[in-house]
Chain A
Amino acid sequence: MNVKDTVIALTEASGASGNESAAAEAALEILKKFCPDAEYTAGNIIGRYGAEKPERPLLVLDAHIDQVGMIVTYITDEGFIKFSNLGGLDHRILPAQPVVIHGRKDVKGVICSVPPHLSGGKAEVLSYDDAAIDTGMTKEELEKYVSLGDSITYDVHYRELLGSRITARSLDDRCGVAAILRTLELLEGCEPAYNIAVIFSSQEELGERGAAIGAYTLDPDIALAVDVSFAYAIGEDEKKCGKLGKGPMIGISPSLSREITDKLINAAKAEDIPYQTEVMNGMTGTNADRYSVSRGGAKTCTVSIPLRNMHTPVEVIDLEDVELTAKLLAGFIKGAE
C-alpha cells in the first residue's frame, strides 16, 4: 500500500459531515483488503481485523471519515444557493472560493465575493447570512440537479509540495484513515495481543456523533482516536502545536488514560520512532472524548498527525508523519504481546 496514493484517493472523494458516502465507500474498498467483512453501518465503516479470541481485550482504532463542508438551505429566485456550515469553517476564506454541490450530479460553483465598490472600503468578513453560491444557472435549471439539504465541499485537488509534504482538502482526517489502513498492513503476519476493530466514524465535525454510536456498538476496552492536530507555522502558538515531519503527537490529558499514553511513548522509544507529545488539560475535542466515557468507560488516548491550515481547502501535512503514525500504532499493538 502506497501511503501517498491512499491519502490522495481518500481526499479526492467527498464526504461532508452527515454526507460521507463517497468517502466512506472509498475507505471501505481499501479496508476490505484487511478486514473482508468490513461494512458501512449506521453511517460508520466498521471492520474487525483478524480472529477474535475471547481472552483478549478489544482495541478500537478510530479515525473520522467526514470533512467540514456546507449544506444547501435555499435557492434564491435569481438562482443563487444559500448555505449553512457543516462543522467549523473559517469564513474569512470563503469569498471567490470554488465549491462543488453534490446534487443529483456534481455541480460546480463559486462563493460570491463582494467587490470593493459595495463594501464602501470597509472590509468585513462575509457572514453566512450574506454568503451565496453562484452556479451560473437559473433557479429552474439548478433545481433539476440540486435540492435543499445537498452537501457542498471545496472544489480543490491535492498538490504535492516540497519534500514529502502535500496539500489537499479533508486531510483532516483522511490522513488518519490512511494511517490506520497502513497500520493494518504493517500488522500482517503477526499475532496481535488485542482483538482489533477499526472504525471510520461519521460526523466528528458536528460533535463526534458517529463515534458516539460506534463506541456503544463496539464497546472497546482500549480506544485510540487517530486524528490531526495543529502543526506550527509562524502565527500559531508554539505551545499548542506539533511540528510537521517530526512524528505523531501522543496525547497527554486528564481525560485520557495515562497508562495508554505511557505505553504509546514506550512503543515509540522501543522502535526508535520519532514522536511528539500533545498536552491538553481536559477534553480533547476528538472522538476520544466519546470513547473514554461510553458505556462503562474505556482506556483512551489520542494519536495525532500534525496539520497546518485546519478546516481549509489548503490543509498541509507531511506524509512521513502518516507513515510514522502507522509504525507507532503497529508498534503499540505488537509491543503488548
Chain B
Amino acid sequence: MKELLKELCLVNSISGDEDTVRSVIEKKISDLCDEYHIDPLGSLICFKKGRSSAKKLMVCAHMDEVGFIVTYIRSDGTLSIAPVGGVDPSVVIGRQVTVGKNRLNGVVGSTAVHNLSADEREDPAKFEGLYIDIGAADKEDAEKYVNLGDCGYFESEFAEFGDHFVKSKAIDDRAGCAMMIKLMQEELEYDTWFVFNVQEEIGLRGSRASAYSVAPDFALVLEATTAADIDGVSGQKKVCSCGKGPVVGFMDRSTVYDKEMYALAFKLAEENDIPCQTKTMIAGGNDSGAIHISGRGVRTLAVSVPCRYLHSPSCVIDFNDLDNTYKLVKLLVKRIPEL
C-alpha cells in the first residue's frame, strides 16, 4: 500500500481541481467494481456487489488536498495567493510550490528577516503578505505563464524516515483513497458504494451531493486526523498519537458518531488485536458532518489514520497505523450492515 499511497500523494489536485487525481484513481478502480460514474461535482461514485444486498453501505474518502489559488499578478511578476482549505500561512512561507496546469516551479517568498523590525519578526505570516515567485521578470512576463485562478500546490518529497514513518504532502486524504482502492480488490460481504469525494477541504461540499445520490443506510468515512503527540504536548491535548492505531472518535466539530458503530469498532479491534484509540478533544471534522444529516439521516462512523502536521507539506504518519487502520476497516465493512 506504500507505493499506492506515494503515487496518490504526489499527484497535485486541490479542492475544485480534482480531475488529475480522479483520473489516476479511475484507472485503478475501473476493473475493480461493477459500475461507476462521475457526478456533476466531480466525485467518483463506484458500486461493487457483495454476497448480500440487504443493506446499503457507503465507504468514502476525499480526493482533494489543501493548496492555493492565484488571485492577482503583481507588477514585479510575483503572484498573490489565497488559501484553498484550512492552511496555516506558517507552513506556506518559505516553501517550494508548483503552480498551474503547466506545473511551474515556484517558491513562497517573503521580506528578508534582516529587513524586518523586532515586532515584525514575531508577527506570524499572513496570506495577504505571501506571494509565489516563479522567476518571472515582471507582470507581463508572468502573464505569459499564469492565469488568475490557477491552482498552487505544495511541493514535497514522499520520504520514509525514522521507525516506519512516512512524510509527504496530501496524506489527508490520499491515505483514505489508498485504503479504498485496496478494499475494492477484496471480495465483499455486502453491496458497497465506494465514493471518492471532491471539495472536502472547503466545507464538505462533494460529500453532501454524493451522500444524497447514494442514500446509504450506513456510511464509513476513511480519513487522516490531527495527532498532536509532539514535544511539549501532554495529556488530552495530544488528541491522538502516532503508533497507537486507527482513530475512532465519538464526536468532533461536525458529528456525533453512531454509538453502535463506535462500539463495534472497538470490539472488533480488541477481538483482533488491532490497536485502536479515540480522540481526547472535540476538534476537527470531516465529510461525516455532511453525510450523517443527509436525506433521512445516515448512520455514520469515521476511521482515521493519526497524522502529525496535517494540512502542511510535511504530513507525518506511522505506516503501521495505516496498516492497522486498513485491517479494522476491512472488518468493519463485513459487520456494520449487521447492526
Contacts and interface: CB of A to CB of B under 8 A. Distances in A.
Contacts of A237: 115
B111 A236 contact: yes
Interface string B244-278: 00000000000000000000000000000000000
B131 A310 contact: no
B22 interface: no
Interface string A213-241: 00000000000000000101111110010
B276 to A, nearest CB: 21
A148 to B, nearest CB: 16
Contact of A308 (B133, B164, B165): B133
A314 B162 contact: no
Contacts, number: 212
Contacts of B316: 110, 134, 136
Contact of A162 (B125, B134, B157, B309): B134
Contacts of B314: 96-98, 110, 113
B9 to A, nearest CB: 14
A316 B78 CA distance: 13
Interface in A73-100: 76, 78, 80, 82, 88-98
Given A80-B231, A313-B94, A118 B237 contact: yes
Size bracket of the A interface: 35 or more
Nearest to B141: A162
Contacts of B95: 93, 97, 313-314
A113 B163 contact: no
Size bracket of the B interface: 35 or more
Contacts of B107: 159, 161, 167, 309, 314, 316
Given A125-B124, A235-B111, A112 B133 contact: no
Nearest to A232: B76
Nearest to A135: B162
B71 interface: no
14 contacts: A93-B93, A95-B91, A108-B167, A115-B309, A117-B226, A125-B123, A126-B90, A135-B161, A156-B96, A166-B135, A234-B78, A313-B96, A314-B109, A316-B107
Interface of A: 76, 78, 80, 82, 88-98, 107-110, 112-118, 123-126, 130, 132, 134-138, 141, 156, 159-163, 165-167, 230, 232-237, 240, 245, 285, 308-314, 316
Given A113-B308, A313-B94, 4 more contacts: A110-B167, A161-B107, A162-B136, A234-B74
